[in-house]
Amino acid sequence: MGYKTPSRGLFFFLRVYGAFKTWYNNIIIMTMWGESMSSQDFNLPYLRVLDEELVIAVGCTEPVSLSLAAAKLKIRFNREPSKIIVKTSGPFFKNIRAAVVPGTKTLSGIKASIAAGHISGDPTKDLEVLSDALHPEALKAINLMAEKDIYDIQVMKTNEPLHFILRYQDDDGYAEIEVKRFHTGTVRLEVDGKQIPLSNPNNHRDGKPLIDRSFMRFDGIIDFVESIDIDTLKHMFDPTINHNLAIAKKKALKGPRMSTSVETLIMKEIQLSMVG
């Protein structure tokens, strides 16, 4: 049997089907957002999602997320725990094992992350919870707490890659916090059996509800990537670029100095990678 060339009818059908899918996805976006949108406005929902997802963090997000939870739990428990129980998803456990806790230079893992947040964390700063410089006394206290024989670390079954439960307890009671999906996504805070109302629940960020992502389709994301003007994204990416460039400069001071030409080349490569 020889190879048969697809008919014109098939090509026509595929073109009509592709046009219908684009029209259908646009109708979904218009229905969900309740706006009369021009063709250029269909990027707006994707831009808002991207703006929510790009959150600056000091250091690797897994240890920072656990440090933030510990800083919050310390306030609720209001005393030193005699036992600390941690349950995490498999991916979270894998990622945090070798991640250095910001400000400690060498400490890594679950125990150090909890200790850093407990000793020096500022729960009002979200993922910048450990942004304040750690003085020698704090580092010593973090080391001592991380070395205590009070931790019970477990890997739990969960469908969420980012999911953990942290519990402080002693003979008089307990406090427990559960974080899911987002690094700052507290879904439950409980003290001695009483649920604490959340001021910023998991479907909110900075007090505002998160954008409903059910409108997102693969072909819509491709259209967004191919059509978006790169200048529209500058206000989102510039802070990230500036933070990382500052880190690179600081690292370079410990070795060969970074010349202006090298810095210019790095910035050019970053911009090219964003465009292409």
Give 235-249 pLDDT, tens digit per residue: 777 776 776 676 566
pLDDT score of 8 more than 70:
no
Please give the average per-residue pLDDT across 18-45, as a whole number: 54
Per the prediction, the chain carries an average pLDDT of 76
Give the C-alpha separation, 113 to 96, whole Å: 9
| 3-class SS letters over 200-235 | CCCCEECCEECCCCCCCCHHHHHHHHHHCCHHHHHH
* Cβ contact 118:70 at 8 Å: yes
- In the predicted structure, residue 170 carries a pLDDT above the cut 80: yes
The answer, yes or no, to whether residue 149 has pLDDT greater than 70, is yes
Residue 50: per-residue pLDDT:
75
| CA 10 to each of CA 6, 15, 17, 246: distance values in angstroms, whole numbers, following the listed order | 6, 9, 10, 55
By the 8 A CB rule, do 258 and 245 touch? no
User: Which has more pLDDT, 45 or 30?
Assistant: 45
* Among the ranges given (32-41, 98-107, 156-165, 265-274), the one the predictor scored with the smallest mean pLDDT: 32-41
Per-residue pLDDT band at 12 (split at 50, 70, 90):
low
> What is the three-class DSSP state of 194?
strand
Interval 191-203: pLDDT, tens? 999 999 876 555 5
